[in-house]
Amino acid sequence: MVVSKGRIEKRWRIVVLWESGGYTRAGIAKAVRCSHHAVDRWIRRYEETGSVEDRPRSGRANSLSEQAQIQVCLALEAGDSSYAVAKRFAGQGFRVTPWTIRNIAKRRHLVYRVGKSKPALRRSHKLARLEFARTQRPRNYWKQALYSDEAGFGLYYDPRGRWVVEGQTAGYRPTVKWAVVIRVWAAVSWEGRTKLFRIPKAMTAVEFARFMQDKAVPAMIELAGNPARAWRLVQDGDGAHTAKITLKTLRKLGVRLVSPWPARSPDLNVIENLWSMLGRRLEKHHTTTEAGLWRALKTEWASIPHENIRSCVRSVPRRLHEVIKARGGPTRY
């Protein structure tokens, strides 16, 4: 059994609190959040051996040599899966399974982490993002904006990740699009959120313009007030968004846009973070039908705390600052 770094640190904390003399064993158990039995066990182990490491255990010897185990870790860090590595070594005559590969990785302090998906950015995209981030805007400009977008939610999610050294992140991974079951549109602002609108899986420019006129803009007016006042709409460069008929409809309704919005910049649109929150909240429902998924979507969208939305809006100046630091490249958002 491989003991994680966190467990070892917890055991040493028990010892440190005991040696300080200011805690009873019950107090240590409460402070460290463990059982009284665990406190007794690790204090006794420390007094007997001077360590809190596990005792050596019997078991089958490793089928891979030290050099081979190093090669396993290098392959995992390069992005290969445990299945691919196991298959490669099996082809060389070793008796290993993906579980053996994972145990080797854990023993050498590698952990499995899922990387954030980021769009590929060309030089032209980076320059446009950089110019947008450097544009001077009035104070509270971003608190007076509405952030809108569409998103698709399916019944299954992509759990892929990679092995990295403990304490490191997984970096970025290519975006994988799954078959969309339900597609939705919404907008958020400092004042709150619109309701969630279910939209077709594909919309022409005419259909999108009609949707904006009949449903989306009235919902945004209800949220943020008359568009002739201060608020501006944030939306990406999707073809339906930038079509002449859509822009003409928005002008007729008095809606102003944050423009020119840089291409491939989901990290600057805060509603993308809300979509991620919504996706994570959906996981607890374990729904298996389209109707159940739609009910769960509406429930979880309405229950996202208002402070979470405001926290995302407050982060926009920091996002722009990170774009400048990254010279137009991807940010951590």
- How far is C-alpha 57 from the chain's CA centre? 38
Q: Quick check: 306 pLDDT over 90? A: yes
Between residues 174 and 271, the one the model is more confident about: 271
- Give me the mean pLDDT over the 120-129 stretch: 93
Domain assignment of residue 150, yes or no = yes
Same domain, 141 and 186: yes
Domain assignment of residue 100, yes or no = yes
Same domain, 303 and 260: yes
**pLDDT tens, 19-54?**
888 888 888 998 888 888 889 999 998 888 888 887
**pLDDT tens, 100-118?**
888 888 888 888 877 777 8
Same domain, 194 and 258: yes
Same domain, 177 and 285: yes
Residue 176 has a pLDDT of: 46
**pLDDT tens, 58-104?**
656 567 888 888 888 898 888 888 888 888 888 888 888 888 888 88
Q: Are 264 and 121 in contact (CB under 8 A)?
A: yes
Domain assignment of residue 54, yes or no = no
| Cα–Cα distance, 31 to 241 (Å, whole number) | 54
Same domain, 133 and 19: no
Domain assignment of residue 288, yes or no = yes
Domain assignment of residue 55, yes or no = no
Q: How many domains does the chain have?
A: 3
- Give me the mean pLDDT over the 172-196 stretch: 80
Residue 177 has a pLDDT of: 47
- Give me the mean pLDDT over the 273-280 stretch: 93
Domain assignment of residue 302, yes or no = yes
Structure tokens at 295: 């009910």
Same domain, 163 and 252: yes
Q: Are 187 and 219 in contact (CB under 8 A)?
A: yes
Same domain, 89 and 155: no
Same domain, 136 and 243: yes
Nearest to 323 by CA among 167, 118, 145: 118
Residue 320 has a pLDDT of: 95
CA distances from 153 to 146, 177, 201, 256, 278 (A): 22, 10, 11, 29, 9
Provide the mean pLDDT of the chain: 87
| Cα–Cα distance, 128 to 311 (Å, whole number) | 26
Same domain, 38 and 77: no
Domain hosting 74: range is 66-108
pLDDT band at 267 (very low <50, low <70, confident <90, very high): very high
pLDDT band at 227 (very low <50, low <70, confident <90, very high): low
Task: Give the DSSP letter of residue 79.
Answer: T
Residue 60 has a pLDDT of: 60
| Cα–Cα distance, 138 to 128 (Å, whole number) | 20
Same domain, 34 and 152: no
Percent of the chain with pLDDT over 90: 47
Same domain, 91 and 130: no
Domain assignment of residue 98, yes or no = yes
Domain assignment of residue 57, yes or no = no
CATH number for position 197: 3.30.420.10
Same domain, 288 and 139: yes
